Amino acid sequence: MSNAGGKPALKVALLGCGVVGSQVVRLLREQADDLAARVGAPLELAGVAVRRLGRKRDTEVDPALLTTDAEALVTRDDVDIVVEVIGGIEPARSLILAAMARGKSVVTANKALLAEDGATIHGAARDNGADLYFEASVAGAIPLLRPLRESLAGDRVRRVLGIVNGTTNYILDRMDSSGASFTEALEEAQALGYAEADPTADVEGFDAAAKAAILAGIAFHSRVTAADVHREGITEITAADVDSARGMGYVIKLLAICARSDDGRSIGVRVHPAMIPRSHPLAGVREAYNAVFVEAESAGRLMFYGAGAGGAPTASAVLGDIVAVARNRLAGTRGPEESTYADLKVHPMGDTVTRYHISVDVADKPGVLARVADIFAKHDVSIQTVLQEGRGDDAQLVLVTHRASDAALSATIEELRDLDIVRAVASVMRVEGDETP
């Protein structure tokens, strides 16, 4: 074993040896010399906690390192760094807390835990003076949390707009490029391993919502949990919606949006499908890639793009964090604590202001447009463009609004649905990333 500068090795305990964990094991082994040079001391794998000892792994793991007793591993006196890649709330939370209580540094990829109970985890890090790094929890390999926490620490973030779920981006990209239905595209994603057998967490937006909560908390120096996030999935997107968006020069993406309100006093955090112009940098994000667009007062518009999931990319982010906490331990210091001083509240979805694309099937007779327009006006929703297309007895109205609150739009749609001349409100989709006021 190499021994940079003669310093004793820092010992790493790994919790979980699945898709990500096995790549962490591989990289710790294959890049041992580089890591030692970069840290200033060797990194040594002290043990790997798994559920079952006999299971086949994606990489070779010394059987002597494997244990099913995670609790004993994280509390071992000789362990310096605990890496948690089990996921889920328990036992991950208890193990992380046990590790911090003994002064271990913690690296985790656990978005669900941080989004549901970040207060407990960050609080324990603070109380114990323990390092907590979690770059891999959002957008896989893309360096995103460190830039937000550190590079933009002297700036004021206005908005974060991201594609943070690769599965849904793959599905929507397939629907856009091939005309496939949601079901067909999902099946294809499952066949390729981009979607799980039970795709609920992805297609219903739960995964993206957890990431949105973490991003919003960091970007706005406030505490945000998954429960604060307005969430809509992509299961109701039809091939017709995608086609209609394409016809207007838009593409439908599942976006995580964290934005300061116009008065700067609250934030909105939401995950839902939205139409964005094809000229927007996020529109070009294909397949299962992720990208996050950040708008800050001084920096302007930034975008971070890369692989949002997968064993090796996620392990790259985990390794970067391991190097950081290892350097901190050697220097007797720690990284930035959770920053929640701004304490901004998340406003209700009804207060969110954006634009909308609405498709309404109406009876094709005189006065219909006037009556529809009246309802929009009554709720103070200003129409930017309207397109009417006859279809025999019926007609289709496609309206795009100026910026309006979600509450006003909802009230408008409700009243439209009750109108005798309206056959159906065929679709309502938010329009984002288009700065026309």
Give the residue numbers of the binding site for NADPH: 111
Cβ proximity to its own copies: between 303 and 369 the closer is 303
Give, for 428, the enclosing helix (H) or strand (E). Answer: strand 422-431
Cβ proximity to its own copies: between 233 and 277 the closer is 277
Q: Which residue in the list 7, 211, 345, 378 is annotated as catalytic?
A: 211
Residue list, annotated binding site for L-homoserine: 196
Cβ proximity to its own copies: between 65 and 303 the closer is 303
The backbone torsions φ and ψ at residue 428, rounded to the nearest 5 degrees and listed phi first, read: -130, 120
- Rounded to a whole number of angstroms, the minimum distance from the CB of residue 306 to its own copies is 4
Cβ proximity to its own copies: between 166 and 273 the closer is 166
Cβ proximity to its own copies: between 64 and 331 the closer is 331
Let me know: does 320 contact 326? Beta carbons within 8 Å: no
Cβ proximity to its own copies: between 153 and 424 the closer is 153
- Rounded to a whole number of angstroms, the minimum distance from the CB of residue 392 to its own copies is 42
Cβ proximity to its own copies: between 40 and 87 the closer is 40
Residue list, annotated binding site: 15-22, 111, 196
Place of tokens 């790094």: 133
- Rounded to a whole number of angstroms, the minimum distance from the CB of residue 51 to its own copies is 25
Q: Which 3-state string (H, E, C) describes the chain?
A: CCCHHHCCCEEEEEECCCHHHHHHHHHHHHCHHHHHHHHCCCEEEEEEECCCCCCCCCCCCCHHHEECCHHHHHCCCCCCEEEECCCCCCCHHHHHHHHHHCCCEEEECCHHHHHHHHHHHHHHHHHHCCCEECHHHCCCCCCCHHHHHHHCCCCCEEEEEEECCHHHHHHHHHHHHHCCCHHHHHHHHHHCCCCCCCCHHHHCCHHHHHHHHHHHHHHCCCCCCHHHCEECCCCCCCHHHHHHHHHCCEEEEEEEEEEECCCCCEEEEEEEEEEEECCCHHHHCCCCEEEEEEEECCCEEEEEEEECCCHHHHHHHHHHHHHHHHHHHHHCCCCCCCCCCCCCEECCHHHCEEEEEEEEEEECCCCHHHHHHHHHHHCCCCEEEEEEEEECCEEEEEEEECCEEHHHHHHHHHHHHHCCCEEEEEEEEEECCCCCC
Cα four-point dihedral sign 34, 38, 41, 43: negative
To the query of whether residue 211 is one of the catalytic residues in this protein, the response is yes
- Which residues contribute to the site for its own copies (CB under 8 A)? 23, 27, 31, 34-35, 37-38, 135, 141-143, 146-147, 150-156, 221, 281, 284, 291, 296-307, 310, 312-313, 315-324, 327-328, 331-334, 336, 339, 341-342
- Rounded to a whole number of angstroms, the minimum distance from the CB of residue 272 to its own copies is 24
- Rounded to a whole number of angstroms, the minimum distance from the CB of residue 57 to its own copies is 17
Helix spans in 31-110 (H): 32-39, 70-74, 92-101
- Rounded to a whole number of angstroms, the minimum distance from the CB of residue 36 to its own copies is 9
Q: Which residue numbers are catalytic?
A: 211
